[in-house]
């Protein structure tokens, strides 16, 4: 099997390589290609990847290239993990909305829209090369945020794609020790949209133990998502960390307004990581990588690829079409739910309807995501305006007027679709 990683120069890549090395025999991985447009990252990250694979006894080939066509040619899996505009663009996503009185976050709210507008067209261009050159039954696995919006764009264009986030596996790995069981026995029933989910059940060997978990470990669970225990008890569910931006908007806005942007912290972490990666004696991912975020990313990624390749029928939380899974959402909405994954693809596990306090918020954001994809693919300014107007973290005309102009101005270098429409007009 050939697997290509687009954005292979990411500092996350050693995490992924570690997982692929563990699963190399079950995956029958013969060829791994890391593609990236940044020559320094290709050299540094590719060098560490090679040392890690040799230390693990990998007998296949590793290629590092800037040639997208060569990377995806004949590939069975294409993993996409890129950031259009780099950390500088992320800093913009996190700061531009603050000037308008809105949360600045790279996947949620106005910042998430800024990233989607830059990212969706680039991912779709990559996907077209995959369609033309990869194996006929190739899968695109997207880790690029905002995952739900990117995957919706891919599926709308007819690509064989699935999205993946590490939130559910993070819950699984945090909850298993509380229960004193192996993580493989814990099934996280997490539902909603990407970065807008709730864990409504935690099953161990088929039995839901969430009520007992909340009663016995409510403080630890609440601390992990930075939300009050009383909220978890009232909801009877564990919200993802990202619900913090909705449930405590004003508090977080004030902290962001006076604090250091996460993008600045990540830039420094990445600088330190790349220095570590240059060490010719380093053959394992360094502990500092944990501070970069994306915990258990490699485990989630390799589990998904393994199930698609081997057809083992494992249940995993992924981003796929709704197709009636969550009542109250359109069939073509992209939801994040548990699905049974085999070689034919993922099949979502049937779900009970969302409670009203969850469904209302999900419907609101699903409408925004639909408009975000349309705006990114058409370059229509009015759709940017409507997407911002639809988002529950924005939704006020003065902010929407200002943000429409600010986001397009800040991202101008990476938004040619809007430039071309202005010229045409």
Mean pLDDT, residues 338-353: 96
Residue 399 has pLDDT above 70, yes or no: yes
The predicted-structure confidence for 43-74, as pLDDT tens digits, reads as follows 999 999 999 999 999 999 999 999 999 999 99
The predicted-structure confidence for 360-384, as pLDDT tens digits, reads as follows 999 999 999 999 999 999 999 999 9
Q: How far apart are CA 143 and CA 9, in angstroms?
A: 14
Q: Which residues contact 140 (CB under 8 A, 6 or more apart)?
A: 78, 80, 127, 130, 154, 159, 160, 161, 162
CA-nearest of 295, 304, 22 to 170 is: 295
Q: How far apart are CA 95 and CA 405, in angstroms?
A: 14
Q: How far apart are CA 243 and CA 91, in angstroms?
A: 21
Residue 421 has pLDDT above 70, yes or no: no
- DSSP-assigned states of every residue in 378-424: H--HHHHHHHHHH-TTS--HHHHHHHHHHHHHHTGGG-HHHHHHHHH
CA-nearest of 284, 53, 314 to 169 is: 314
**pTM flag (> 0.75):** yes
Alpha-carbon radius of gyration of the chain? 21
- What was the pLDDT predicted at 293? 72
Classify residue 163 by burial, with Cβ atoms within 10 Å: 0-12, 13-18, 19+. buried
Question: Which entry of 242, 277, 296, 385 is annotated as an active-site residue?
Answer: 242
Show the tokens assigned to 339.
Answer: 């699905």
DSSP letter assigned to residue 324 = T
Cα–Cα distances in angstroms (integers) from residue 114 to residues 88, 117, 293, in the given order: 13, 5, 21
Q: How many CB atoms lie within 10 A of CB 357?
A: 11
CA-nearest of 158, 163, 164 to 130 is: 158
Q: How far apart are CA 45 and CA 51, in angstroms?
A: 10
SS3 134: coil
Estimate to the nearest angstrom the gap between the alpha carbon of 23 and the chain centroid: 22
- What was the pLDDT predicted at 31? 97
The predicted-structure confidence for 168-182, as pLDDT tens digits, reads as follows 999 999 999 999 999
With a pLDDT cut of 90, the percent of the chain lying above it is 91
- What was the pLDDT predicted at 217? 97
What burial letters (b/e) apply to 32-62, b meaning 16+ CB within 10 Å? bbbbbeeeebbebbbbbbbbbbeeeebebeb
Calculate the average pLDDT of the chain.
Answer: 95
The predicted-structure confidence for 124-146, as pLDDT tens digits, reads as follows 999 999 999 999 999 999 999 99
Q: Is 297 a catalytic residue?
A: no
Confidence of residue 274 (pLDDT cuts 50, 70, 90): very high
Confidence of residue 422 (pLDDT cuts 50, 70, 90): low
Residues 153/377, Cβ–Cβ less than 8 Å: yes
Q: Which residues pair with 315 in a beta bridge?
A: 340
Dihedral over Cα of 404, 410, 411, 415: its sign: positive
Confidence of residue 290 (pLDDT cuts 50, 70, 90): confident
Show the tokens assigned to 215.
Answer: 């009663």
Confidence of residue 24 (pLDDT cuts 50, 70, 90): confident
> Up-side HSE of residue 53: CA atoms within 13 Å toward CB?
25
Q: Kindly state the helix (H) or strand (E) to which residue 22 belongs, with its residue range.
A: helix 13-22
- What was the pLDDT predicted at 97? 96
DSSP letter assigned to residue 350 = P
């Amino acid at each position: 099997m050939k697997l290509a990683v687009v954005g292979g120069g990411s500092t996350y890549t050693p995490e992924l390589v570690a997982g692929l090395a563990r699963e190399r025999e079950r995956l029958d991985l013969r060829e791994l290609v890391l593609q990236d447009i940044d020559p320094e990252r290709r050299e540094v990250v590719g060098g560490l990847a090679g040392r890690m694979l040799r230390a693990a006894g990998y007998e296949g080939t590793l290629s590092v290239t800037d040639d997208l066509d060569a990377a995806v040619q004949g590939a069975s899996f294409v993993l996409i993990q890129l950031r259009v505009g780099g950390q500088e663009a992320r800093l913009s996503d996190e700061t531009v909305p603050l000037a308008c009185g809105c949360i600045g976050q790279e996947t949620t709210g106005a910042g998430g829209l800024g990233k989607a507008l830059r990212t969706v067209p680039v991912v779709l261009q990559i996907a077209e090369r995959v369609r033309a050159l990869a194996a006929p039954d190739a899968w695109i696995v997207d880790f690029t945020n905002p995952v739900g919006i990117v995957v919706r764009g891919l599926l709308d264009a007819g690509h064989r794609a699935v999205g993946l986030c590490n939130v559910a596996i993070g819950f699984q790995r945090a909850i298993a020790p509380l229960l004193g069981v192996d993580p493989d026995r814990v099934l996280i029933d997490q539902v909603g949209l990407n970065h807008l989910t709730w864990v409504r059940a935690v099953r161990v060997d088929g039995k839901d133990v969430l009520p007992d978990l909340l009663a016995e470990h409510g403080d630890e669970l609440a601390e992990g998502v930075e939300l009050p225990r009383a909220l978890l008890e009232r909801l009877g569910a564990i919200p993802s960390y990202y619900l913090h931006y909705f449930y405590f908007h004003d508090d977080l806005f004030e902290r962001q307004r006076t604090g250091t942007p996460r993008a600045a912290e990540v830039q420094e972490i990445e600088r330190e990581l790349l220095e570590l990666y240059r060490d010719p004696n380093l053959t394992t991912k360094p502990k500092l990588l944990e501070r970069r975020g994306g915990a258990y990313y490699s485990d989630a990624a390799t589990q998904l690829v393994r199930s698609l390749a081997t057809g083992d029928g494992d249940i995993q939380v992924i981003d796929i079409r709704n197709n009636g899974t969550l009542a109250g959402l359109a069939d073509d909405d992209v939801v994040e739910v548990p699905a049974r994954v085999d070689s034919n693809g993922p099949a979502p596990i049937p779900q009970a309807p969302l409670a009203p306090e969850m469904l209302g918020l999900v419907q609101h954001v699903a409408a925004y995501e639909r408009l975000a994809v349309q705006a990114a693919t058409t370059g229509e300014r009015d759709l940017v305006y409507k997407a911002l107007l639809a988002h529950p973290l924005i939704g006020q005309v003065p902010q929407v007027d200002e943000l429409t102009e600010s986001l397009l101005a800040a991202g101008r270098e990476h938004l040619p679709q809007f430039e071309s429409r202005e010229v045409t007009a």
